Amino acid sequence: MNWDQVVIAIVGGDRREQEIARCAVAAGAQVRVYGFPWPDEGIPGAHRVASAREALEGADIALFPIPGIAPDGALFAPQCAERIIPDGQMLAGMRLPAHIILGWADPKLKAHCEALGINLHEYEWDEDLMLLRGPAIVEGMLKVLIENTDITLHKAKICLVGQGTIGSLVTHTLLALGAHVHVAARNPVQRAAAYAAGAESLELSDLARVLPGTDIVIASVPARVLGRDLLQTLPKHALLVDLAAPPGGIDRDAAQELGLKFVWARGLGARAPITVGRSQWSGVRRRIDNILKEIK
């Protein structure tokens, strides 16, 4: 199959998906879109439809957003009037052998795809793509921190939970700004990397000792590490920022009940939609090229 024979449905997302749609059109695909903000000037070559179901009808490939799926199964689509929940009826119209490329899939979506014979391709944790969109995420995070605190990041006492690809970029940036950074991680190699960068490293079991003197807590692991027992040790002025995909690293309900300021900073790649959209497309295109090689 050639690119001009491929029907791609782009469903959900934000301004990053605008750039992905432009890239898909430039590659020669037939492109239908729904659920992301439509630019005033339109996207030449992309066909905007009235529903997610219409976008997916007859599509060979569906592109869903990278930020992840909400607990109720809805795709990330912050400016769409409806919650887009891809169920069996919505997906059944895709043309087999169909493929969905997205950040990551929840159990419900995986079950629907298995029942329908649709192939899933997840790229949330592709390290190269995480690094490419990392600067935009860090810039977006800095904006969140500055807008939600009354102190400078310089000399602020910050605790970062998680030291993966994005976490390590956050650590280096905060240290460069003069913050006092503690990094908590399970992985001893990640703790050693944080120490080598100039941060104070600690095991997760040490959080109860460090949190009482912390101004800002940033979580970058998609596992509930910070529950009520730890959150209640924080000072009342502390800011909590969760960068992780659902379910997040911080118990946001407990944070709210304790009167702590909490920001679940999903979709920060939207800070630079053209840059990040193009970087995401580089990974998406690689997968589509591989799919087309397998289709005779």
Domain region containing 21: 3-124+271-294
Task: Indicate if 42 and 57 belong to the same structural domain.
Answer: yes
**pLDDT, tens digit, 9 for 90 and up, residues 42-78:** 999 999 999 999 999 999 999 999 887 888 999 999 9
Task: Indicate if 164 and 260 belong to the same structural domain.
Answer: yes
* 244: CATH: 3.40.50.720
Q: What was the pLDDT predicted at 271?
A: 83
Task: Indicate if 161 and 102 belong to the same structural domain.
Answer: no
Task: Indicate if 9 and 98 belong to the same structural domain.
Answer: yes
Task: Indicate if 158 and 101 belong to the same structural domain.
Answer: no
On the 0-12 / 13-18 / 19+ scale of CB atoms within 10 A, 296 is exposed
User: What is the number of domains present in the chain?
Assistant: 2
Task: Indicate if 192 and 236 belong to the same structural domain.
Answer: yes
The letter for the amino acid at 237 is: H
Task: Indicate if 132 and 248 belong to the same structural domain.
Answer: yes
**pLDDT, tens digit, 9 for 90 and up, residues 119-176:** 999 987 788 888 888 899 999 999 999 999 999 999 999 999 999 999 999 999 999 9
Cα–chain center distance at 6: 26
Q: How far apart are CA 50 and CA 162, in angstroms?
A: 41
Task: Indicate if 23 and 78 belong to the same structural domain.
Answer: yes
Task: Indicate if 99 and 154 belong to the same structural domain.
Answer: no
